[in-house]
Amino acid sequence: MATMRTLPRSDQLPYALYRAAQVREFDRIAVQDFGIPGETLMERAGAAAFARLRERWPAVRDLAVVVGQGNNGGDGLVVARLARQAGLAVRVLQVGDPDHLRGDARTNLDRYLALGGEHRPLQRVPRETQLIVDGLFGTGLDRPVEGTWAEAIAAINAHPAPVLALDIPSGLHADTGCVLGDAVRAELTVSFIGLKQGLFTADGPDCCGRVVFEGLDVPAAVYGWQVLAARRIDWLRFGDLLPTRPRGAHKGHFGHVLVVGGDRGTAGAARLAGEAALRAGAGLVSVATRPEHVAAIVAGRPELMAHGLATATDVQPLLARATVVAVGPGLGRDPWGRALLEEVLGSGLPLVVDADALNLLAEAPRHRADWVLTPHPGEAARLLGVGAAAIHADRFAAAAALQQRYGGVVVLKGAGSIVQGPGARPPAVCSLGNPGMATGGVGDVLTGVVAGLLAQGLGADDAAEMGVCVHAAAGDRAAAAGERGLIASDLFAPLRALLNPGG
């Protein structure tokens, strides 16, 4: 067992992600095996949240703390007591019967009331409230909120004041990141003891706002009792994965990507993927497309070697020279695209499969170990033969099902893209990216980036995870000029900067 130490406080979030039941087990182990009283953990949680509150909103003088009947409400009551002791105007708005408060939560209600604190049922959030603290539900919620509880969430969201959520926004499923009927929209979420995987995917990013972590001085040895449910990944994790290039390098050292796609009317998709592979560092990139698109692709980006394919068999000489194939951007589902996909699948080369190639694969599923699949939720639904709602309901389960059915490495795109590889390696969740990236061609850029990294010798897991993170980080840099109006090619300049030392 690891030596006992405490996790430091840092605004750099941990990479370990857990399910709600695992974090509750950490809490139990800390209390029962390491002798930390539950009351102490609640006090630390409330104090940490209040410190974050003062740091983020130093001018706030009037706050409402909305509490339920469990320990999450107890954390909120600690915040309320500390706010009152600091001279702030504070009122506790109770949802549910306060007589149901037990143990440490009840103790903290009594302490708050002993200070003359205001405590009353929630009917509305007073107009003068400058900040709302959400202590309504904790991580145990597993069914849609209804009745009075739903009305409370609606009242919080209807008020113009910002919201600080304790541990998780009320109404958000801690494991899947899905809204259970309705959920609080917080500006800041303070997560305690262990980060919950649902904070970072599906509806989680919309509900949580900024996420910060407080370990509450729980000994590091506590965490050794659980296997990670998932891993949070960001660009800081991958900055040193690509080695410095030797001075004697030439283009042949960095692989040859072949992009196959660009049916009539969709040449841009293939060109974006090709340029992305170049910007990711591939030594050579060829584009196999309709003959009528060659001139435009070469004129727009002369570094791409564009080849017109009158028939599918014309791709064979190109496959013979390629290191990696990216197939699907603009491929279409007509006979031309179908025949090309069959040629590519028979090549034996490592593949990145996207867009219409995925839709065609859904019609004739097959399993192989040497590809990376990059579906968005609609494509994932077709690959699994389910509705899109089923994908959103549990993105972790969907990514695992896709990997099991099709093999290789799966990138389930969307808010909080999930990378699921084979074996025991936990899934990875990217915590970067922004809504400005929800525009045509951005997925084609990701396809090219992953292919370019594969061509440089990275394994499929690393290429997929690194590609997702640098793609998202580039999108965030591009969005500095505004999310609305961001286009796919805006990612190229930041991609190049990020993939080089000092970027």
Distance CA 484, CA 435 (A): 8
Average pLDDT over residues 184-193: 98
* Domain layout of the chain by residue ranges: 16-228, 236-498
Q: Are 368 and 358 a contacting pair, CB within 8 Å? A: no
Among 323, 326, 279, 320, smallest CA distance to 301 is for 279
pLDDT for residue 249 = 87
Distance CA 331, CA 324 (A): 17
Residue 7: pLDDT over 90: no
Of 166-180, 237-251, 419-433, least confident by mean pLDDT is: 237-251
pLDDT per residue as tens digits for the range 111-122: 999 999 999 999
Q: Between 2.40.50.140, 3.40.1190.20, 3.40.980.10, 3.90.79.10, what CATH number should domain 236-498 receive?
A: 3.40.1190.20
User: Residues with Cβ < 8 Å from 78, sequence gap 6 or more?
Assistant: 42, 43, 45, 46, 47, 49, 50, 108
pLDDT for residue 9 = 41
Average pLDDT over residues 32-59: 98
* Collapsed DSSP state (helix, strand, coil) of residue 308: strand
Average pLDDT over residues 240-263: 90
Query: DSSP code of 119?
Result: E
- Look up tokens 């509305």; give the residue: 124
The superfamily CATH assigns to domain 16-228 is YjeF N-terminal domain (3.40.50.10260)
pLDDT for residue 240 = 73
Q: Are 450 and 411 a contacting pair, CB within 8 Å? A: yes
What is each CA distance from 495 to 352, 447, 468, in whole angstroms? Answer: 19, 13, 11
pLDDT per residue as tens digits for the range 347-390: 999 999 999 999 999 999 999 999 999 999 999 999 999 999 99
Distance CA 235, CA 82 (A): 37
pLDDT for residue 502 = 75
Average pLDDT over residues 43-59: 98
The amino acid present at 135, given as its one-letter code, is G
Other CB atoms within a 10 A radius of the CB of residue 335 amount to 9
pLDDT per residue as tens digits for the range 285-340: 999 999 999 999 999 999 999 999 999 999 999 999 999 999 999 999 999 999 99
pLDDT per residue as tens digits for the range 464-489: 999 999 999 999 999 999 999 999 99
